A = this chain, B = another copy of it.
Amino acid sequence: MRKSYISKNVIRRLPRYLRKLDELSAAGVERISSGELGRQLGLTPSKIRQDFSCFGEFGQQGYGYNVVGLRSQIAQILGMDRDYSVVLIGAGRIGQSLIENFNFPRFGFRLLAAFEIRKELVGREIAGLTISDRSIQDAFIKEHHVDIAILSIGKEHAQQVADELIGSGVKAIWNFTDAEIDAGESGVVIENIHFSDSLLALSYYLSEKNA
């Protein structure tokens, strides 16, 4: 696979392509043109061809893209074949919802454990996963060489717990707290889900329409 500089915007679009290709595949579609894919995604065909060309050639002029083949190449680019291990820190409502509803295996991830500081939640079983006490978190992460920690705790302790996780050796933090996490010089990847940023973008577009 050709390695070249890939813009943030392209990377952000890849999961959307993947979702659409899964949909098409489930509907029995075998091939799709950049024109039709563009129409379904609200993108121009040339944007789509340009995005895919960053990674080398996926399609054949005039024949369209092979849905399953394209899906598998995008999945590989996204690291879905890396079998990353995940632990969840904080089993409150958001954490529990992720355990129950988020299909980790579908995207190639293994959710190994969930840790919680509130004693009344420790030992509770959700979707087959028993919530563990946070006191064993560090030892567990080290023993299992955990790749990714999901941070779904209160904002106040976010940086402190992130520092602990980095110390334990995680390589990435998926941050659901409203805090900005500073990974310092560690090189740990931080990916944020800031709910407020999304709502404010919505608010902007709504205000633009009614300006």
Report if A92 contacts B (CB, 8 A).
yes
Report if A163 contacts B (CB, 8 A).
no
Report if A82 contacts B (CB, 8 A).
yes
- Complex CA distance for A202 and B174, rounded to whole angstroms: 7
In the complex, the count of this chain's copies comes to 2
Could you tell me how many residues of chain A have their Cβ less than 8 Å away from some Cβ of chain B?
58
- Complex CA distance for A78 and B202, rounded to whole angstroms: 9
Please choose the segment from A26-34, A138-146, A189-197 that sits at the chain B interface, where 4 or more of its residues have CB less than 8 A away. Answer: A189-197
Q: Chain B residue with minimal CB distance to A99?
A: B93
Q: Chain B residue with minimal CB distance to A18?
A: B200
Report whether B172 and A206 are in contact in the complex, using a CB–CB cutoff of 8 Å. yes
Report whether B93 and A97 are in contact in the complex, using a CB–CB cutoff of 8 Å. yes
Given that A191-B198, A199-B191 are contacting pairs, would A78 and B204 also be in contact in the complex, using a CB cutoff of 8 Å? yes
Binding site for B on A (CB under 8 A): 3, 9, 11-12, 14-16, 18-20, 77-80, 82, 84, 92-94, 96-98, 100-103, 107-109, 147-148, 171-172, 174, 178, 180, 187, 189, 191-207, 209-211
Q: A18-B200, A107-B199, A193-B198 given; name 20 further pairs at CB < 8 Å.
A: A9-B9, A12-B201, A15-B201, A16-B197, A20-B180, A78-B203, A79-B206, A82-B206, A84-B206, A92-B97, A93-B93, A93-B101, A102-B196, A148-B206, A172-B202, A172-B206, A174-B202, A187-B209, A189-B202, A189-B205
